[in-house]
Structure 1
Amino acid sequence: MEINLSTDINNISWEDLARVFELAPLGKRRDPEKLEMAFRNSLLKVFAFHGTKLVGAGRALSDGVWRAAIYDVAVLPEYQGRGIGSTIIRHLIESAKVDVIMLYAVPGKEAFYEKFGFRKMTTAMAITPSEEEARERGLIE
């Protein structure tokens, strides 16, 4: 199966991407308009296609010098386990060209990201819209 990566944001169906995030699963259904804004505002973004079908994506924020943060790496369940997520992560890491790359991930995926050299941080903290929900999902202590 041939998977093609694209960084071209202009031909993305944001409805299709919202579906990828919902099915991956990365939490609640995301508003396609907000997804578009988030990806357009990210310095780095990549989309994975099987033919014309959008099957995965990822993005990263970066200052382009010292720090980057990877967010929203998602692959459709029927395409998981085929190296697509790894290809997306490698693309974002290599494109970042910074000293430190942080990662925001779904709890339980740590072993996957450790393969790329990511390690848990002891100093990361967050403010969330719902502290109770974030605690229930295992995002904060």
Structure 2
Amino acid sequence: MIEYRETQEVDLDQLVALIRAAGWNRGDDPARLEKQLAGARYVVSAWDGARLVGFARAISDGVTNAYVSTVAVLPGYPGRGIGREMIARLLAGKGGISFVLHARPEVRAFYEKCGFSEAPDMMWRRRSV
């Protein structure tokens, strides 16, 4: 049974392993992940016993806007509703906050099922490093 935790206290070694296994190309530096955790307003992790199998985080002012910056599920676990449940927990009780995210074309249908829709009024400036 998957257990969900809403805390920034996540085993950093397991988080690095999860991010690497999920194929994130720039997100597996431990020092960087530690800073990302510290800066996240909302964090949800999914555990199969003592094993971290899912992680989601959002950055927010806590009042009007939030950016879902990471959603990762360990290979072998997709299709079990873990990502959807983590998103639901990120959004729960925060109806006054607008959530945004960037989604690759192959995962847009997933986010649409979670209640997100494309927004033609958004602009984006990519990081340069």
TM-score by length of 1: 0.82
Task: State the superposition RMSD in angstroms.
Answer: 1.7
> How many positions carry a matched residue from both structures?
128
5+ long unaligned stretches in structure 1: 131-141
Q: 2:100 is matched with which residue?
A: 102
Q: Distance between the aligned counterparts of 1:73 and 1:49, measured in 2?
A: 14
Task: Note if contact 1:75-1:85 (Cα within 8 Å) is conserved in structure 2.
Answer: yes
- Could you tell me how far 1:69 is from its partner in structure 2? 0.9
Task: Note if contact 1:23-1:76 (Cα within 8 Å) is conserved in structure 2.
Answer: yes
1:4-32: per-residue Cα shift (whole Å, max 9, x none)? 0112333x221211111111122245111
Summarize the Cα distance change of 1:65–1:29 in structure 2 as closer, same or farther, 3 Å threshold. Answer: closer
Q: Distance between the aligned counterparts of 1:95 and 1:16, measured in 2?
A: 28
1:27-76: per-residue Cα shift (whole Å, max 9, x none)? 24511121111012111001110000000100001111111111110000
Q: Does residue 1:125 correspond to 2:119, yes or no?
A: no
TM-score by length of 2: 0.89
- Secondary structure of 1:111's match? helix
Task: Note if contact 2:27-2:33 (Cα within 8 Å) is conserved in structure 1.
Answer: no
Find runs of 4+ consecutive structure 1 residues off by over 4 angstroms. none
Summarize the Cα distance change of 1:33–1:95 in structure 2 as closer, same or farther, 3 Å threshold. Answer: farther
Percentage of pairs with the same residue: 34
Q: Distance between the aligned counterparts of 1:89 and 1:23, measured in 2?
A: 20
Task: Note if contact 1:65-1:97 (Cα within 8 Å) is conserved in structure 2.
Answer: no
1:80-115: per-residue Cα shift (whole Å, max 9, x none)? 110001110100111544331101334410000001
5+ long unaligned stretches in structure 2: none
Task: Note if contact 2:59-2:67 (Cα within 8 Å) is conserved in structure 1.
Answer: yes
Q: 2:6 is matched with which residue?
A: 7
Q: 1:87 is matched with which residue?
A: 85
Q: Distance between the aligned counterparts of 2:25 and 2:62, measured in 1?
A: 29
